[in-house]
Structure 1
Amino acid sequence: MRSYLVLTPPGGPEKDHRSTLFLADGFSWMALLFAWIWLIWHRLWLAGIIALVLQIGSVLLLGMSGFFLAGLLLGFAIHVLIALEGRNHYANSLARRGWTLESVISATDLRTAEEIYFSGLPQPETHPLPSSSDWANKAKQPSVSGWQGPALGLFDHGGR
């Protein structure tokens, strides 16, 4: 089971909920492989620049004699930390931008999480269409003068 954070944009969700974001909480393989690129892609500018500078520092340590292991461990630690905590940082960043955390759902996959969330939302009321006999009965009613009477033109003011 995986946890999914359900976030809605500032000003509330759209009528069809297309802007509602389901963010899987937990480890990210893309963040592990491309740490600073993943951060920049998700508009986490400061964290992405810091990760890039630290990765450059780890590469410089790799080239120094006696610091190969330190450079290797620093680079690995940066990637693992971003892979584990990147999505949490992204969710917090969205919350600072005005997004609202609506719910946290545990599900096996994204589709199931969406079904669970949307099944709990109130359904819009559906009004049945009137039957044809109702239409026929309304047509037989006597005409009324004034604004409710039959109109001859675009603006019929009681036959005046």
Structure 2
Amino acid sequence: MAIHVVMEPPAKAGQNASEAAVFIRDGFHFFGFIAPLLWLLWHRLWLEAAMTLAATLALAAASEWAGLTFAAPLLPLLISLYVGLEGGALRIAALRRAGWHQWGVVEADSVEDAEMRYLFAAEADDEPAPAPVAISPATPRPQPAGGALGLLHYPGRN
């Protein structure tokens, strides 16, 4: 089973947050590994895509300047691995910057199952809680005489 992080949009008048919730799978993102720049652009992570492009160009220029032409294709592999491993966290961070908040996590096999579990839990949260019942004690509790465990003496007690 996969873990899905549920992100809810900021509260707006007349809009239900559960209808616009986004589910982000926590795990390895294969397409983020294969084509990190395209994956970031697809998920509208503009800042992260620009930084990925800049880091890729900087690594290529540094390897060319150092005379490591054989390592030039291998260095961007590190960036691809980072996007593949941390793609979900990058999406969550971007949504938080936009004002979204994390509702919680849902464990499910697919996104559809995660949506069902989330909607069921959100519906249960909307139900009013039962009113607390105040119970007064019928008899006062007996106060112990002496110190605690017989080792200590407290002032004001016999």
Which category of TM-score, normalised to the shorter sequence, fits these structures?
0.5 to 0.7
Partner of 1:4: 4
Of structures 1 and 2, the one with the larger relative CO (CA 8 A, separation 6+) is 2
More helix by share: 1
Structure-2 change in CA distance of 1:47 and 1:15 (3 Å) = closer
CA contact (8 A) 2:63 2:72 kept: yes
1:103 and 2:104 equivalent? yes
Task: Give structure 1 stretches of 5+ with no counterpart.
Answer: 126-160
Q: How does 1:27-66 map to 2 (within 5 A)?
A: 27-60=28-61, 66=67
43-52 vs 97-106, greater mean Cα deviation: 43-52
Which deviates further from its counterpart, 10-19 or 84-93? 10-19
TM-score where L is the length of structure 1: 0.65
- TM-score norm. by structure 2 comes to 0.66
Change (3 A) 1:11 1:58: same
Residues 107 and 56 (structure 1 numbering): CA distance in 2 closer, same or farther, change over 3 Å? Answer: same
Distance in 1, matches of 2:3 and 2:70, equals: 35
How much does 1:63 deviate? Answer: 6.3
Mapped to 1, the partners of 2:81 and 2:99 lie a distance apart of 28
Bigger radius of gyration among the two: 1
CA positional deviation for 1:50: 1.8
Distance 1:45 1:15 in 2: 27
Unaligned 5+ segments in structure 2 are 128-158
CA-to-partner distance for each residue in 1:30-64, whole Å, 9 max, x for gaps? 21122122223333222211211222344556767
Q: How many residues align?
A: 125
Q: Percent identity?
A: 28
